[in-house]
Amino acid sequence: LISDSTRHRIESFILLFAAVPFGALGCCANLINVAVFIRQGIGDCVSFCLLALTVSDFLSIVAGLVFNGAYVLVYVNDLASVDTVALDVVVNHVCAMFYDISQAVIAFVALERCMCVTLPLRFKGMFTFHRAVLVVLGLYAFTIVVYVPHYLTSGLVWSEVPFRNLTRLTLWMSDNRPEVDLYLNSFNHIAMATIYQITVVVSSWLMVLGINRSMKFRERDTSEVGQVTAADRKRKTTLGRGGSVNKTRLKDRSTKTQSVVKTVLCLAIISIVCNAYRLTVVYGRRFNTEFSFLGAYRNTYAVALRLLFFTQTTNASANLVVYYNLNATFRSNLVKTFCPCPKTFEK
């Protein structure tokens, strides 16, 4: 579908004007997120999960920049000492591994918020900080383990280039690599990604329903707390003030809860949209063997992977915008951390 020359032009445009610059911005955005999270403190489940998400997003973008940067060097120097296809095979899976960790964390935090919103009395005390740490570390460890077969069956080795007085890094693969590729594509890239996507979609839908019911209940409950009967007005110095204080506390608590849910929901929506394209690519490779680096549609596949990295980078980089616009605490700490004149922007 795509000729070699067209592939070269499309890849050059994506790399030079989209993937590499946007990836660099994504790295900066995630470093800012880490600095702000550390400043405001990591004392609850959601804060720790978002910090873990930021770390995996950052590592995913860095890994992607490695092999995309290598392609840029090849365009500058045709005798580059790295085989870009080899680098793609090895490093691309590192990028995918950290991206899968991010999707696992997003699925967990979306499920946690969903349960706390829909059934708060049953699950709110269940997701403690220490349990969140154990779950997130478990997700990190699990994802790394399922990618171990890739690292055991492929790698980069120095080899001599025929008719040229130089050596370059080329791809090494074991004899059982085809079976490992089938496993990676079926379990890691399809099964895991599909489970995470379904979890995020269902949790987001239930969150929307739950927060709407919760808002209606709190509005009704708050109005009842603020009401004072004719007999109670005689004791307005006690009950009147108490009702006002309770009403304010309920309102503040409701506002904070809504802010957290909106933040998680927005992250979930971005994840759903970006992962829809990723699932399209991996399912296409699974059911069409020609859609690969060695198949008849290798040029189309190569361009699809460049676009895939761009969508993954977008997913991993957009969090700063979400936090800044939907989380007042994050916005305040961001201003205090990086702005020399915070009073000008605190509004």
DSSP calls for 155-189? EEEEEEPTTSS-EEEEEEE-TTHHHHHHHIIIIII
* Predicted pLDDT of residue 240: 52
- Cβ 74 vs Cβ 36: under 8 Å: no
Where along the chain do its domains lie? Answer: 4-344
Element (H, E) at 156: strand 154-160
* Residues of the chain by 3-state class (helix, strand, coil), percent to 5: 80, 5, 15
Q: Which residues have CB under 8 Å from 296's CB, separation 6+? A: 290
The residue written with tokens 């506390």 in the block is: 249
Q: What is the largest CA-CA distance in the chain?
A: 101
Give the Cα separation of 159 and 168 in Å (integer).
6
Q: Which residues have CB under 8 Å from 218's CB, separation 6+? A: 250, 254
For the whole model, what pTM was predicted? 0.86
Q: Give the pLDDT confidence of 308-323 residue by residue, as tens digits.
A: 888 998 898 899 999 9
Q: Give the pLDDT confidence of 108-165 residue by residue, as tens digits.
A: 999 998 988 888 777 777 888 999 999 999 999 999 999 999 999 998 888 887 766 7
Whether residue 230 is predicted with pLDDT greater than 50 in this model: the reply is no
Q: Give the pLDDT confidence of 65-78 residue by residue, as tens digits.
A: 887 777 766 666 55
pLDDT confidence tier of residue 190, bands split at 50, 70 and 90: very high
Q: Give the pLDDT confidence of 70-115 residue by residue, as tens digits.
A: 776 666 655 567 777 787 788 889 999 999 999 999 999 999 989 8
**84 burial type by CB count under 10 A (0-12 exposed, 13-18 middle, 19+ buried):** middle
Residue 195 CA from chain centroid, whole number = 15
Instruction: Write down the CATH superfamily of domain 4-344.
Output: Rhodopsin 7-helix transmembrane proteins (1.20.1070.10)
Give the Cα separation of 264 and 139 in Å (integer).
18
Element (H, E) at 277: helix 241-287
* Predicted pLDDT of residue 4: 84
Whether residue 193 is predicted with pLDDT greater than 60 in this model: the reply is yes
What SS3 state is found at 143?
helix
Whether residue 188 is predicted with pLDDT greater than 50 in this model: the reply is yes
What SS3 state is found at 78?
coil
- Cβ 155 vs Cβ 124: under 8 Å: no
Give the Cα separation of 248 and 105 in Å (integer).
33
